[in-house]
Amino acid sequence: MTQSDQNNNIDLNQFNQVFFEECAEHLAEMEQILVSLPDEGPDEEQLNAIFRAAHSIKGGAGIFGFQDMTVVTHVLESLLDRMRNHEIPFSTAMVDLFLEAGDVISMQLAGHRDGAFVRQEAIEQISAKLQQVIDAGSLDAPAGSASAAMIPVPEEIAQSGTVASEHSDQRYELVFTPDPDIFRRGIRLENLFAELEELGELTVTAGLPATTDFNSIDPEICVCSWRMTLVTTAGEADIRDIFEFVADLDQLQLRTVSENVREISASDDSKAIATVTPPENTRLMPTGESAADPAGAATGRRAYDKNELAAGAYGRRTSEAESSIRVGVTKVDQLINQVGELVITQLMLAQTATVLDPVLHENLHRSLLQLERNTRDLQQSVMSIRLVPISIVFSRFPRMVRELAAKLGKQVELKTVGDTTELDKGLIEKITDPLTHLVRNCMDHALETPEARIAAGKEPCGTITLRASQIGGRIVIDVIDDGAGLNRAKILAKAAERGIPASDNMSDEEVWQLIFAPGFSTAECVTDISGRGVGMDVVLRNVQSMSGRVNISSEPGNGTRVTISLPLTLAILDGLSVAVGQEKFIIPLNSIVESLQPAPESLKTVNGGNVVHVRGEYIPIIALYELFNMDALVKEPGKGILILIDVEGEKAALLVDALLDEHQVVIKSIETNYRKVEGTAGATILGDGRVALILDVNSLFRMRKQK
């Protein structure tokens, strides 16, 4: 392979990746709209959005050479276009059909992106199904029925019997106001008009601005506009396709005057163009605006682009989105690391400056303070790049809930609140599985059947609410259902059966925590949805691996709330630095309860281990110097400082020589740069340039038990 070939391959792969990402986004958007459709079917905006997603996938696939992906998307796009033109009516069964089509396209995407297996028969089947609907004119009607029957026709015309077929001519009026640079871009309008003429009978009239000072014009700048009429059997999309690379949305106004043509066709076989005149006061509007005009017929996708800004429009592109760029996560992580290094350098400078006289070096100290502020601001700004909205996770659930509800014979409404809440991309990826399991549990166990709900005096339709919010420095995600609630007696009985320590004296909160025990399940039958008892413990472990917490509250008959609390990011951490011998450690602040110098009488020995008596509790002491096999200045608990830590109810007291300072530290992977060090969650570089290990409190508990 030559260097040039390599370069070409590299470039192509980069572009392919962009296509894969965009295709996945379009599929997700399409699915989101489909599962949220009301029974009466999509409105114009929703239909346009689905169409646009299919069209974009098809266009991208064609450009990037994934021709196989254009097969399904083409027939899907054709069907959607017929629906947009009111030629084929919507039916609820179409949602499943479109979702199935989306699945097949996803499969093809995975085939190209990940080398996953692609079932050709699935592609052929869905293409055939979609084509059958197009041919039949509806999902329910037998093949061959006239789709023209679906076209809304004015009553008087219908009675006259003049609308013979779906292919009757349409008269379009277009006003084209080109970009001023169109001539300079080398676009030849003759070719454009010739293409239009191929569609049917075209008349063109050029117009100049009302007043122009000839002495001050730029002859290469286009100031003309063109008014055209086109009588054709082609659809609006075909016309807009011709302008696709020539005109922006607001440069082409298009409307149909189909009724006039039909009336004249009834009395005269000749084309109507010479005799049909639109009302003088008719204002030609961009089709995006014509949505408000019931006579304005179907709108095109470019029109939809404009109307995406309208309230309630799906798949909208805000000005912010349009000005965004797509950047690889590795680049962002590299930037975060570099800013982390900058923070460390700033800390080093600050530390060095502490020995300098603040009066003699007043300017230097002032500048260092400014540097600290700027560095922190920069760090926060950079960290925010990794933050993504949780809607990315939430958006996968509507379809899952819809399908599970159908499978279980339950009626379920899914509500999401706080979709725009942002959290770290790394957390987003890890939180998906736990949330999926919780929602499946709600569907399978928590929510009752419609009959049971009615018997309990509830609405037959249950509700699952996913709610995300930022509270302080943490993200809180609630999974709430209005089902039967947890059954305390059943949980306690199951715990006893499984040998899990439990008693009737336990508080509700403690009883609810039992369901996180490995292998715990009160489900009476194992289903393929949940109930194997291998879920909630995995949920807890996954959440804890993100430094998160899980809490449950439940009320019999009224439902359950599972609350997951996560840190905003995994890249920086608030910690307390402590000294043990010549070394320094960072203890995460969120696990620290308090620090104390123990009174001699509060220290005891139990089973050969040291404990400290604090407010009625005996808390085991973990001597860090022992755990890490190092020298320490203080080896007697009574002479050192104890830091009480609490993780998910498990407590311990860490023995250290001294407390040093509170820091916001940049977490560095010690595993990547050195090797795994048990008892640590990483390392950071302190202001004096020394490396400090960040303690992993959970693994300290494990290490103590092993010793």
Partner 1 sequence: MNTEAGESLKTCLDGECSMSTVAGKYPALMNCLARLLDSGASGERNDCSTSGALLVDLTGVTDIDACGCQLLALFLSGLKQNNISAQLTNIPDTIRSKIHFLGFDSEFNLSH
Among 8, 92, 205, 352, binds partner 1 (CB under 8 A): 205
**Closest to partner 1 by CB, 243 or 394:** 243
Residue 236 Cβ vs partner 1, minimum distance, rounded to whole Å? 21
Our CB check for partner 1 shows the closer of 195 and 626 to be 195
CA distances from 350 to 42, 369, 685, 689 (A): 61, 8, 14, 12
- AA letter at 486: L
Rounded Cα–Cα distance for residues 425 and 329 (Å): 9
Phi-psi sector, 608: left (phi>0), alpha (psi -120 to 50), beta: left
| Least distance in angstroms from the C-beta of 176 to partner 1 | 10
Query: Residue 205 or 527: which CB sits closer to partner 1?
Result: 205
Which of 188, 317, 373, 415 is in the footprint of partner 1 by CB under 8 A? 188
Helix (H) / strand (E) containing 508: helix 508-513
Closer to partner 1 at the Cβ: 223 or 350? 223
CB of 224 to partner 1, least distance (A): 5
Q: Of 120, 215, 319, 505, which one interacts with partner 1 (CB under 8 A)?
A: 215
CB of 210 to partner 1, least distance (A): 9
Q: Which is nearer to partner 1, 208 or 311 (CB)?
A: 208
Q: How far apart are CA 682 and CA 667, in angstroms?
A: 6
Nearest residue (CB) to partner 1, 215 versus 672: 215
Specify the DSSP element, H or E, that contains 603. Answer: strand 603-606
What single string gives the DSSP state of each residue in 401-453? HHHHHHHHT-EEEEEEE-TT-EEEHHHHHHHHHHHHHHHHHIIIIISPPHHHH
Give the interface segment with partner 1, choosing from 211-219, 245-253, 363-371, 686-694 (CB under 8 A): 211-219
Amino acid at residue number 311? A
- In angstroms, give the least distance from the CB of 235 to partner 1: 24
10, 128, 164, 217: which one contacts partner 1 (CB under 8 A)?
A: 217
Per CB under 8 A, which region of 152-160, 204-212, 301-309, 649-657 contacts partner 1?
204-212
Q: Which stretch binds partner 1 (CB under 8 A): 78-86, 101-109, 219-227, 285-293?
A: 219-227
Check: CB of residue 430 under 8 Å from CB of residue 517. Answer: no
Two tokens, residue 337: 């690391």
Considering the rule CB under 8 A, would residue 153 count as an interface residue with partner 1? no
Site map (CB under 8 A) of partner 1, residues 308-327, x = contact? --------------------
Among 12, 92, 180, 184, binds partner 1 (CB under 8 A): 184
Min dist. Cβ of residue 230 to partner 1 (A): 13
* Side-chain half-sphere CA neighbours of 73 within 13 A: 27
118: its two tokens: 């692609």
Q: Which stretch binds partner 1 (CB under 8 A): 118-126, 155-163, 189-197, 671-679?
A: 189-197
- Which residue lies nearer to partner 1 by CB, 141 or 174? 174
Alpha-carbon gap, residue 475 to 393, rounded angstroms: 14
The C-alpha atoms of residue 336 and residue 146 are separated, in whole angstroms, by 61
Nearest approach, Cβ of residue 204 and partner 1 (Å): 3
Residue 365 burial (CB < 10 Å; 0-12/13-18/19+)? Answer: middle
Q: How many residues bind partner 1 (CB under 8 A)?
A: 27
Q: Which of 159, 211, 605, 706 binds partner 1 (CB under 8 A)?
A: 211
Chosen residue from 7, 14, 125, 212 binding partner 1 by CB under 8 A:
212
According to the binding rule CB under 8 A, does residue 273 interact with partner 1? no
- Distance in Å, CB of 196 to partner 1, minimum: 11
Contact between 189 and partner 1 by CB under 8 A: the answer reads: yes
Cα angle for residues 456, 459, 464 (degrees, 5° grid): 105
Q: Applying CB under 8 A, does 208 fall inside the site for partner 1? A: yes
Neighbours of 154 (CB within 10 A): 14
Out of 40, 114, 155, 190, name the contact with partner 1 by CB under 8 A.
190
Shortest gap between Cβ of 287 and partner 1 (angstroms)?
21
Nearest Cα residue to 171 out of 278, 86, 267, 249: 278
Rounded to the nearest whole angstrom, what is the least distance from the CB of residue 180 to partner 1 in the complex?
Answer: 11
Going 245 to 248 to 251 to 256, the CA torsion angle's sign is positive
Q: How far is the CB of 211 from partner 1 (least distance, A)?
A: 7
Q: Is 64 in the site for partner 1 (CB under 8 A)?
A: no
Nearer to partner 1, 217 or 593 (CB): 217
DSSP characters for 64-97?
A: TT-THHHHHHHHHHHHHHHHHTTSS---THHHHH
Q: Compute the distance between CA of residue 664 and CA of residue 473 in angstroms, rounded to an integer.
A: 12
3-state SS assignment for residue 226: strand
Per CB under 8 A, the list member of 25, 68, 132, 183 interacting with partner 1 is: 183
Q: Is 213 in the site for partner 1 (CB under 8 A)?
A: yes
Work out whether strand 650-656 and strand 617-623 pair parallel, antiparallel, or are unpaired: parallel
Q: Which stretch binds partner 1 (CB under 8 A): 123-131, 217-225, 502-510, 639-647?
A: 217-225
| 220-259: contacts with partner 1 (CB under 8 A) | 220, 222-224, 226-228
* Phi, psi angle pair for 330, to nearest 5°: -65, -35
**What distance in Å separates the CA atoms of residue 45 and residue 313, rounded to the nearest whole number?**
6
Contacts of 107 (CB under 8 A, 6+ apart): 116, 118, 119, 122
User: Is residue 280 at the binding interface for partner 1, with CB under 8 A as the rule?
Assistant: no
Kindly list the residues in this chain that would bind partner 1 in the complex (CB under 8 A): 183-184, 186, 188-190, 193, 203-208, 211-215, 217, 219-220, 222-224, 226-228
